[in-house]
Amino acid sequence: MRTSVLVVATEPVGARMAGPAIRAYELARALAGSCDVTLAAPAPSTVADDRIAHLPAGMTDVEALVAAGREHDVVIAQELPPVALERLAGGPARLVADLYNPVVVEVLAGVAGRPPRLQRQIHGRIVARSLALLAAADLVICANERQRDLWIGGMALHRLVDVDAYERDPTLRSLVEVVPFGLPEAPAPAATGALRAAFPAIGADERVLVWGGGVWGWLDPVTPMQALERMAAGCPRVHLVLLGVGRPELEASGQAAAGEAALAAARRAGLLGRLVHANPGWVPYDQRGAWLAEADVGVSTHHDHLEARYAHRARVLDYLWAGLPVVASRGDALAELVERERLGAAVAPGDVAGFAAACARMLGPGGAEARERIAAVAPTLRWSEVAAPLVAWCETARSRPRRPVRRATVRRAALAQYRWALPETLSAEGPATAARRVGRRLRRAVRLR
């Protein structure tokens, strides 16, 4: 009998998706070969894979998520509403917490520039949300070994790793496992001319550095921009294309200002429209490969801070899927992969001269060597490979011993989310909205007991 799995997406799934939705969709597809999979995703969502059932439900649809969770053997979620998590914890379904995005660290950079009180509120809510998932999950998955250490450390300090768990499995792989982002199974499509059609200033023989994802406050798009000026004397000219400034759900992310600041920097330097070009929207998921195929090098740069240590930048994997040499800032796990496997080059954060020199190498003979290495390594990074531990776990989930749920920890963490969210709601939407939300949550808590 096949295991039934509910994968919960926090954002709409469809033509235009960012990281959270992409991951939910691709994990659902990887599981669909051996499990019966339902993908819960908020409207407007479309699921193109006919092996996957679609439940139109998001984070506000608590009753629908709880009912669906109770009908499946496994629930995989990056986030769940606090009441839903309380009701599902320890129930018939095994719970998998997908903590591939170490938001407890990312939020420290993400709230920079906001009023101190609001920073504390957002940070407190995010920490409480992560702790609740760690206390409730039968399995925690993350994107790399550094993240695994982060979550094991957090669990240990909250007494969520005990002697019995260690004696059963001294590696703790059965509790916290690495399931990275992956590459699509199909090869990237050939170029269609879409990138140059969108930016006619790029000549047919000119070279392109591509920035393949959104622009966030902890990233550093200015270093590649400044590097262009150092390469400007070259022939042919080198351009930088930002593929995504208008990320789906951008306003909810609180990062709209980061993209505006990057464009303002390019404008002040006289680069915008000349050597720097920004797509104001978001390239559709099934078209991104054709856009990347017109580029010569994929770039990923960040500031020197804590976020980078635990990051797993999916854009770098897109570059490798498209066969592009990568030039990245050192400090994150995928930059280490690039440097170790000679898939491009890694330089110190903020090193404009080093970045320009690395790009020049990748635009020359160094790029050919990197492309050969990428062709050899890429098959090991496909979704079917990286998701294998999760697929195996789900296939045998019903026969696995249950992890004891720390209900007191789950409840305290769930209540803390409301505590930290209430002042934010009061400030942003007023007391009437805050009162309605508190009442609705209390009614749900009573009704769902």
Question: Do residues 435 and 333 both lie within one domain?
Answer: no
Question: Do residues 171 and 66 both lie within one domain?
Answer: yes
pLDDT in tens, 246-278: 555 545 555 567 778 888 888 998 999 999 999
Whether residue 36 is contained in a domain is answered as yes
E-state strands within 233-309:
238-242, 276-278, 297-300
Which of 146, 138, 51 is closest to 97 using CA atoms?
Answer: 138
User: pLDDT at residue 53 above 90?
Assistant: yes
What pLDDT does residue 447 have? Answer: 44
pLDDT in tens, 418-447: 665 555 554 555 555 544 544 554 444 444
d(CA 300, CA 217): 13
Across the chain, mean pLDDT equals 87
What pLDDT does residue 207 have? Answer: 95
Domain hosting 324: range is 194-381
Q: How would residue 230 be classed by pLDDT, with cut points 50, 70 and 90? A: confident
Please name the residues in contact with 8: beta carbons below 8 A apart, sequence gap of 6 or more. Answer: 24, 40, 65, 75, 76, 77, 78, 79, 80
pLDDT in tens, 349-369: 999 999 999 999 999 999 999
Distance set, CA 24 to CA 33, 41, 98, 221, 258 (Å):
15, 9, 9, 27, 25
pTM: 0.88
Question: Do residues 377 and 391 both lie within one domain?
Answer: no
Averaged pLDDT, 328-353: 96
- Of 381, 413, 432, the residue at which a domain comes to its end is 381
- Of 349, 365, 381, the residue at which a domain comes to its end is 381
Number of structural domains (the chain) is 2
Whether residue 189 is contained in a domain is answered as no
- Of 363, 381, 399, the residue at which a domain comes to its end is 381
Which residue reads 């769930």 in tokens? Answer: 414
Eight-class DSSP state of 32: T
Question: Do residues 199 and 153 both lie within one domain?
Answer: no
Question: Do residues 217 and 82 both lie within one domain?
Answer: no
Whether residue 212 is contained in a domain is answered as yes
Whether residue 187 is contained in a domain is answered as no
What's the CATH number where 403 sits?
3.40.50.2000
